[in-house]
A and B are shown apart, each in its own frame.
Chain A
Amino acid sequence: MGGNTDIELIKNGKRLDGRKFDELRDIKIEAGRLNRADGSCYLEWGNNKVIAAVYGPREMHPKHLQENTKAVLKCRYNMAPFSVDDRKRPGPDRRSTEISKVIREALERVVFLNYYPMSGIDVFMEILQADAGTRCAALTAASVALADAGIPMRDIVPACAAGKAGGEVILDLMKEEDNYGEGDLPLAYIPDRDEVVLLQLDGEFSKAELKKAMDYAKKGCKEIYKLQKEALKKRYQKKKD
């Protein structure tokens, strides 16, 4: 967060990319993208390009971390070195570790781990190109990949970030808004269940702004949820020989 006054993030009531304050970027979701993984999803969200793969349930390693009443869910959010402006050194860093944790906690709310005692379920999310909102894109893709793998879940989890830029509350920050704006609020909200399973915030929000940001993010999640289900069902509607 910079609050940099050199860049006018809101000009004449419009955002830099022309979107309305409560408008999402273009999102394309494809289920079943990889043929070796048990479940997978490729997702484009603005300029974000993300791919998620699920392996499992399968034998859990390391064995000493097995749980005899349920499966162990392991999540790994990883950014490719070429995904950002300044090349990122390969390997997990503190930010990726935190993101992996909050994503895992969100997914653990919905996955029925008890059906697969002693086993492990691996969720891998690779950010191939980053343009703000990667953790929400990753979680969105991961939910689709889990459903694609046939792993029983209560529901699909959509995620989306709202924020503040140029003094205005906006939905789905793009890169400049994220870098130079005044706040970021990633949210994973399951519409039919009215459940928030991921929430983070950084910036400066008054209570009213926070409420508005949450409302925008909830609205975004509702739209994304529809797109996720469409993508999953579409997989079975294609005809080919």
Chain B
Amino acid sequence: MSETEIRGEIVAPGDELGKDLKSRDATAYMEDGVLKSSVMGLVNKKGNSIIPLSGVYLPKEGDMVIGVVERVLHNKYLLNIDSPYKVILEMPRRNDRRGGYNQRGGYDRQREETYVEGDILSVKITYVDEVKDSKGTGPRKLHGGRLLFINAKKVPRVIGNKKSMLTILRDKTGCRIAVGQNGLAWVSGDDEKINIVVDAILKIERESHTSGLTDRISEYLEEKLKNGR
């Protein structure tokens, strides 16, 4: 196998970064006027962004995450999102007219659903508190299918620029795929095709720091679909 190019420079904690670098929270720190990396990261060729190569997911407002119902309490659900932090999903109150009704006053059957331990849900995070526990809303239950745990930092690559990678995965296999920002992915469809999608996603995860990945995945899928597994 020929050497595949890495799309940027690998940095380690303590390595100096360019001053114009835009970094998110925990990836870099400033000390004595110098910006330094705090994680193993990939600095893009232009040198103006750094993405971490590994690490846990920290809940962020606006993110769509996939979680598993871990506990059912009397007025809320606790979701495990494979992070040190949990997502709280409040149950709509039974006698509350708002339960089951969306903001525009229309009836929303989705919101009346009740869940049990083990259910897989996708939710949107609306609020994160100081100890990083978060509130989720708009739950949608994901039925059947297979759940996959990948490194949260690789999710952008799995989704791709303007969903390009995700579109290829869906179109070529016909599977339904949901990828949470927290690194949980859900794939549903034909059993054979699910396996191919899972393998492809794992390949993206391994090679996320290389270039030309989208084309390689496209070829990979075509090959696997032709030959079967």
Contacts and interface: CB of A to CB of B under 8 A. Distances in A.
B174 interface: no
Contacts of B15: 229
B135 interface: no
A39 B13 contact: no
A233 interface: yes
Given A57-B56, A148-B54, A150-B55, A118 B84 contact: yes
Given A152-B39, A236-B209, A239-B1, 14 more contacts: A39-B54, A57-B84, A60-B84, A110-B13, A112-B38, A116-B84, A116-B132, A147-B12, A149-B55, A150-B54, A150-B153, A152-B55, A190-B14, A236-B53
Interface in A89-147: 110, 112, 115-120, 147
Interface string B42-63: 1000000000111110100000
Interface stretch (A12-20, A76-84, A153-161): A153-161
Contact of A240 (B1, B13, B38): B1
A190 B1 CA distance: 38
Q: Which 4 A-B pairs have the closest CB atoms?
A: A150-B55, A155-B14, A150-B54, A119-B84
Given A59-B84, A117-B131, A38 B56 contact: yes
B20 interface: no
Contact of B10 (A112, A190, A237): A237
B131 A118 contact: yes
Chain A interface residue bracket vs B = 35 or more
Interface in B15-41: 15, 25-27, 29, 31, 36, 38-40
A241 B4 CA distance: 10
Contacts of B210: 239
Contacts of B38: 112, 152-154
Contacts, number: 102
Contacts of A194: none
B132 A154 contact: no
Contacts of B209: 236
B14 A156 contact: yes
Chain B interface residue bracket vs A = 35 or more
B177 interface: no
Contacts of A85: none
A151 interface: yes
A4 interface: no
Nearest to B56: A57
Given A115-B58, A155-B14, A56 B53 contact: no
Interface string B192-211: 00000000000100100110
A154 B84 contact: no
B171 interface: no
B29 A147 contact: no
7 contacts: A58-B84, A110-B13, A116-B56, A147-B13, A153-B13, A154-B38, A190-B14
Given A59-B84, A154-B29, A154-B38, A233 B55 contact: no
B84 A56 contact: yes
A193 B42 CA distance: 23
B147 interface: no
A232 interface: yes
Given A58-B84, A115-B58, A237-B6, A229 B12 contact: yes
Given A112-B38, A241-B1, A118 B132 contact: yes
Nearest to B129: A117
Contacts of B26: 112, 115, 152
A233 B10 contact: yes
